[in-house]
Structure 1
């Protein structure tokens, strides 16, 4: 089974961040890194995002 790739807009809706906060958290190492989909497009693995959400819920 392949992992679903989420777009930035999908990720922002799920986590409730602004785009600026999202990239700040990535740069700080506190958010899953994006994966390169094509030359000009990135996304996030659903499994990585779910693990991050689960970790935050446990904290």
Structure 2
């Protein structure tokens, strides 16, 4: 394993907060919460009593897999598609 691979892994596994999560996934906080409850979105990691984050690698995997926005959730949120 090269040094580059190790550094790449460390970068991909960093924790991102809500503002960056929203930029990466392009879905709202409430949509992410609903998808998480349906096990269709990466689980939050509790960082403190009032803060959470997500693993960047899990968010990127979710995005590359097509970001499984369920049809029911989309209809419930007022989306048509």
- Structure 2 length-normalised TM: 0.62
Shift of 1:38: 1.4
Matched, 1:38 2:48: yes
More strand by share: 1
User: Which 5+ residue runs of structure 2 have no aligned equivalent?
Assistant: 1-9, 68-81
Over the residues paired in the alignment, what is the CA RMSD in angstroms? 1.7
- Structure 1 length-normalised TM: 0.81
Extract structure 1 runs of 4+ deviating beyond 6 A.
none
Deviations 1:22-55 (A, max 9, x none): 1111111100001111121110000111111222
User: Which 5+ residue runs of structure 1 have no aligned equivalent?
Assistant: none
Number of equivalences: 57
User: Which structure has the larger Rg over C-alpha atoms?
Assistant: 2
